[in-house]
Amino acid sequence: DIQMTQSPSSLSASVGDRVTITCRASQTISTYLNWYQQKPGKAPKLLIYAASTLQSGVPSRFSGSGSGTDFTLTIISLQPEDFATYYCQQSYNKITFGQGTTLEIK
Amino acid sequence: QVQLQESGPGLVKPSQTLSLTCTVSGGSISSGAHYWSWFRQFPGKDLEWIAYIYKTGSTDYKPSLQSLVTISVDTSRNQFSLKLNSVTAADSAVYYCARGVEGIVDAFDVWGQGTVVTVS
């Protein structure tokens, strides 16, 4: 399996902040990388696919970048509804997820 | 819009077979170029992909589960299903069904609400 490692595992930030979450693959995955947001008791929500393509309906304050083994999810101007857990997911070889990054209110 | 709903027993005994069904509403499994998938999320919050299927019946499985899992589709009922054999306590999780983004086999844009399965 391709291992996906996210950092940090948790992050505290304030409304209006800019935050970056990173995801590293154990081998190159080109741009076969998706990002999801999950709130407690809810299913994951697709934010970004193919490393940088914003899913329809997702606010433009979310962006993704990277290729190969290193990827980032950036959220500019955090909103109250953005506090959640974020997962990266690779699809280069089968499908595996990172362990998640919990974004908490400072 | 398309909605997915998982159904199945919430409690399964060890060594038995877990059977789950995902019912698709607001759209047809047979239309478009979507893959239909099963995932699970363990109590520690780790997410795991289990399998996916296309409307034609083409399938793919997580390698470590392939010998235990069967995914199938019933286009007449607009449902797809998962069977997991020989369950153990380690299979206790929230099980989700999901739809792949059209034309993209491995990004999933519509999810069911999830169903809790306990093996005990």
Give residue-wise pLDDT tens across range A14-65.
999 999 999 999 999 999 999 999 999 999 999 999 999 999 999 999 999 9
Beta carbons of B45 and A89 less than 8 Å apart: no
pLDDT of residue B36: 96
d(CA A101, CA A10): 5
Query: How do A45-49 and A53-54 pair as beta strands?
Result: antiparallel
Q: Is the pLDDT of residue A90 over 80?
A: yes
B62 near A CB under 8 A: yes
**High-pLDDT (> 70) share of chain B, %:** 99
Contacts of B96 in chain A (CB under 8 A): 43-44
* pLDDT tens figures, B35-93: 999 999 999 899 999 999 998 899 999 999 999 999 999 999 999 999 999 999 999 99
Taking the Cβ of residue B8 and every Cβ of chain A, the question of whether any pair is shorter than 8 Å is answered with no
Do B16 and B77 touch, CB atoms closer than 8 A? Answer: no
Question: Is A43 close to B111, i.e. CB distance below 8 A?
Answer: yes
- Which residues of A are less than 8 Å from B114 in CB distance? 43
Q: Determine the distance in angstroms separating the CA of A34 from the nearest CA of chain B, rounded to an integer.
A: 7
- For the cut 90, the answer to whether the pLDDT of residue B2 exceeds it is yes
Chain B residues within an 8 Å CB radius of A23:
none
Question: What is chain A's mean pLDDT, rounded?
Answer: 97
pLDDT given for residue B102 in this prediction: 87
Are the beta carbons of A46 and B45 separated by less than 8 Å?
Answer: no
C-alpha to C-alpha distance for B111 and B98, rounded to whole angstroms: 4
Judging contacts by C-beta atoms under 8 Å, the chain A residues touching residue B64 are: 1
Phi, psi of B90 (to 5 degrees): -65, -15
State yes or no: pLDDT of B104 exceeds 80. Answer: no
